């Protein structure tokens, strides 16, 4: 067994956003740190590097410039309406209160001081199926996506004046915690390449190792029982090493784990054309003007599925369908204007901060992305008529290794499409379809208008061909996790802090073991990695928690 002879002040488990944020704060205090990361140095930064970089922030200068007058009280009311906290969720509620009151000071201004900027118009996501979600636009996207965010923070970490105080152990998996006199005093792990066991001695351990959603088998085991059985086929959109190893390690020393059944998955997952891990999925930002259909070609109803209102409810409705997957059908014009894939990889204009390319993609459509998906993704088919489209949809199911169990019925699909198109033909004064009403509402906000078609018929002859996406649930984030107090101290099953042990980011359910409760307002994930980690660093250094 190898031993790290140095006695460290803090051992950080996980090299993602929470771990890196904490390391930056702890270096400011002159502490000696070791960071243990299971991934290679080339992949330093974790899942946030591949994210779109969206954050829910309250009462920012960007909101005010757009005429949005937000308050922590309004945001907390919206938060509670979605979270539906139970009587057991004391600490998640406390973290939610802290977040809405500190998001500008502890997240927005902290990032701004490091040169991070946001797109000048906030997006309006998770409005709620019945107006019970975000009552105002709050979704701020980092200009440069999560890739620019992480590269900026990693660069600062590596060039910090106290950078000599941090040691990195890459390709190293932490597996258990060391205890002495009921106090955590280090950890034991294994080097991935050699299999050699190692120990690290540290006065404090911070768990920032991510969640459980990279392990699809565990996702299915933890599945919310009120949803019934999990779909047979779930794609992986989480980090491959987010497998809950450290959750189990914390449990073994009587740490409390809560709400692991609460997850933030997405409904519009397609197979990655070039998967790097098994079942890797891309998460579409689903077109609002497309028709969302079940496996037989029937439109979901009576309330149609439209993205941007309640992601959790869409996932639930599809997961509870006997087939466990869905189709979205549209024409080329809709796909060109509205199709997008979440994350840095597919949003090159945003990622590379190319304003002219972004403007072109918004107004002319991202043709390169659409043509790539049609040509390379196994879940996309086209057709010049409904008959040809249905034939290709069923051929896809019959010939693919991930065969869908349903058969698309031409009569079902024709009825769904033609009924919708007839509504559009009546004119907007006579629209009596809930999807059209929602499209009208969405187009009222400038952040959505430019990316949403204006009542486009599916069978519009000049907008052919037709396009269909076969979509699966894609696993993404764990909303539950290790329970922590407002100092990010890990709590035992009797509610007391475990000396020497902290948790932050997704490992902690983004705060308190489940800060978002049942469902998120969206954008409360990478931002909470920053908030949790900063609170942990202040507590470890005995600094004021809210300076």
Strand blocks (E) in 14-79: 33-36, 54-56
> Could you tell me if 303 and 129 are in contact, meaning their C-beta atoms sit under 8 angstroms apart?
yes
Dist CA 420 CA 463 (whole Å): 16
For tokens 């509670």, what's the residue?
80
Q: Which of 464, 455, 450 has its CA nearest to residue 433? A: 455
Dist CA 2 CA 57 (whole Å): 44
Q: SS3 breakdown of the chain: % helix, strand, coil, rounded to 5? A: 35, 20, 40
Residue-wise burial string across 245-276, b where 16 or more C-beta atoms lie within 10 A, e elsewhere: bbbebbeebebbbbbbbbbbbbbbbbbbeeee
Dist CA 406 CA 394 (whole Å): 9
Tokens of 105: 């000071």
Dist CA 278 CA 215 (whole Å): 10
Dist CA 60 CA 428 (whole Å): 35
Q: What is the pLDDT of residue 544?
A: 83
Strand blocks (E) in 2-137: 2-13, 33-36, 54-56
For tokens 């290679």, what's the residue?
40
Q: What is the pLDDT of residue 404?
A: 60
Dist CA 520 CA 80 (whole Å): 10
Dist CA 541 CA 136 (whole Å): 37
Dist CA 115 CA 264 (whole Å): 29
Q: pTM of the predicted model, to two decimals?
A: 0.96
Q: What is the pLDDT of residue 395?
A: 94
Q: What is the pLDDT of residue 202?
A: 97
Q: Which of 179, 253, 237, 250 has its CA nearest to residue 208? A: 250
Give long-range contacts, CB 8 A cutoff, 24+ apart: 127-133: 127/308, 127/309, 127/310, 128/81, 128/82, 128/309, 128/310, 129/303, 129/309, 129/310, 129/313, 132/78, 132/81, 132/82, 133/78, 133/81, 133/82, 133/309, 133/310, 133/521
> Could you tell me if 199 and 176 are in contact, meaning their C-beta atoms sit under 8 angstroms apart?
no
Dist CA 116 CA 149 (whole Å): 7
Q: Which residues contact 367 (CB under 8 A, 6 or more apart)?
A: 336
Query: Ramachandran region of residue 210, left (φ > 0), alpha (ψ -120 to 50) or beta?
Result: left
Tokens of 202: 């540290």
- pLDDT profile of the chain (547 residues), mean per 10: 78 98 97 97 95 97 98 98 96 98 98 97 95 96 97 98 97 98 96 95 98 97 94 96 97 98 97 94 96 97 94 96 96 96 88 90 89 96 98 88 77 97 95 95 92 96 97 97 98 98 98 97 97 98 81
């Amino acid at each position: 067994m190898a031993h790290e002879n140095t006695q460290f002040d803090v051992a950080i488990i996980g090299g993602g956003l929470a771990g890196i944020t904490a390391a930056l704060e702890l270096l400011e205090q002159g502490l000696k740190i070791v960071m243990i990361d299971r991934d290679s140095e080339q992949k330093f930064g974790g899942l946030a590097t591949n994210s779109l970089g969206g954050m829910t922030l309250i009462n920012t200068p960007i909101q005010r410039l757009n005429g949005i007058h937000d308050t922590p009280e309004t945001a907390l009311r919206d938060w509670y309406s979605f979270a539906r906290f139970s009587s057991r969720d004391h600490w998640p509620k406390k973290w939610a209160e802290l977040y809405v009151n500190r998001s500008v000071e502890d997240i927005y201004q902290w990032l701004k001081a490091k040169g991070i900027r946001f797109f000048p118009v906030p997006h309006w996501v998770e409005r709620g199926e019945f107006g019970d979600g975000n009552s105002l636009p709050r979704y701020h996207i980092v200009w440069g996506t999560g890739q620019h965010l992480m590269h900026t923070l990693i660069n600062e970490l590596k060039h910090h004046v106290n950078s000599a105080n941090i040691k990195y152990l890459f390709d190293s998996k932490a597996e258990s915690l060391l205890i002495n006199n009921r106090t955590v005093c280090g950890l034991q792990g294994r080097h991935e390449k050699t299999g050699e066991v190692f120990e690290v001695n540290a006065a404090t351990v911070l768990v920032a190792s991510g969640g459980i959603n990279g392990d699809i088998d565990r996702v299915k085991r933890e599945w919310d029982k009120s949803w019934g059985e999990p779909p047979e086929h779930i794609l992986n959109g989480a980090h491959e090493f987010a497998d809950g190893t450290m959750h189990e390690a914390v449990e073994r020393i009587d740490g409390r784990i809560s709400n692991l059944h609460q997850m933030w998955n997405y409904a519009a997952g397609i197979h990655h054309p070039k998967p790097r891990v098994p079942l890797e999925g891309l998460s579409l930002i689903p077109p609002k003007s497309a028709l969302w259909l079940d496996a037989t070609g029937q439109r979901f109803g009576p309330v149609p599925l439209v993205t941007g209102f309640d992601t959790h409810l869409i996932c639930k409705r599809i997961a509870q369908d006997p087939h466990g997957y869905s189709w979205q059908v549209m024409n080329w014009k809709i796909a060109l204007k509205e199709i997008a894939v979440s994350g840095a990889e597919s949003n090159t204009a945003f990622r590379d901060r190319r304003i002219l390319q972004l403007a072109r993609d918004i107004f002319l459509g991202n043709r390169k992305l659409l043509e790539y998906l049609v040509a390379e993704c196994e879940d996309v088919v086209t057709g010049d008529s409904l008959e040809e489209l249905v034939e290709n949809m069923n051929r896809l199911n019959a010939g693919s290794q991930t065969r869908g169990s349903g058969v698309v019925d031409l009569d079902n699909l024709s009825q769904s499409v033609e009924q919708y198109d007839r509504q559009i033909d009546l004119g907007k004064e006579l629209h009596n379809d809930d999807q059209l009403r929602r499209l009208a509402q969405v187009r009222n906000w400038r952040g959505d208008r430019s990316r949403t078609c204006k009542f486009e018929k599916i069978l519009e002859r000049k907008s052919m061909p037709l396009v269909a996406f076969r979509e699966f649930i894609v696993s993404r984030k764990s909303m539950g996790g290790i329970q922590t107090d407002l100092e990010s101290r890990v709590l035992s099953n009797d509610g007391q802090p475990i000396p020497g042990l902290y948790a932050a980011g997704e490992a902690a359910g983004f705060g308190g073991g489940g800060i978002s409760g049942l469902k998120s307002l969206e954008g409360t994930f990478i931002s909470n990695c920053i908030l949790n980690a900063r609170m942990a660093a202040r507590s470890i250094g005995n600094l004021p928690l809210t300076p």
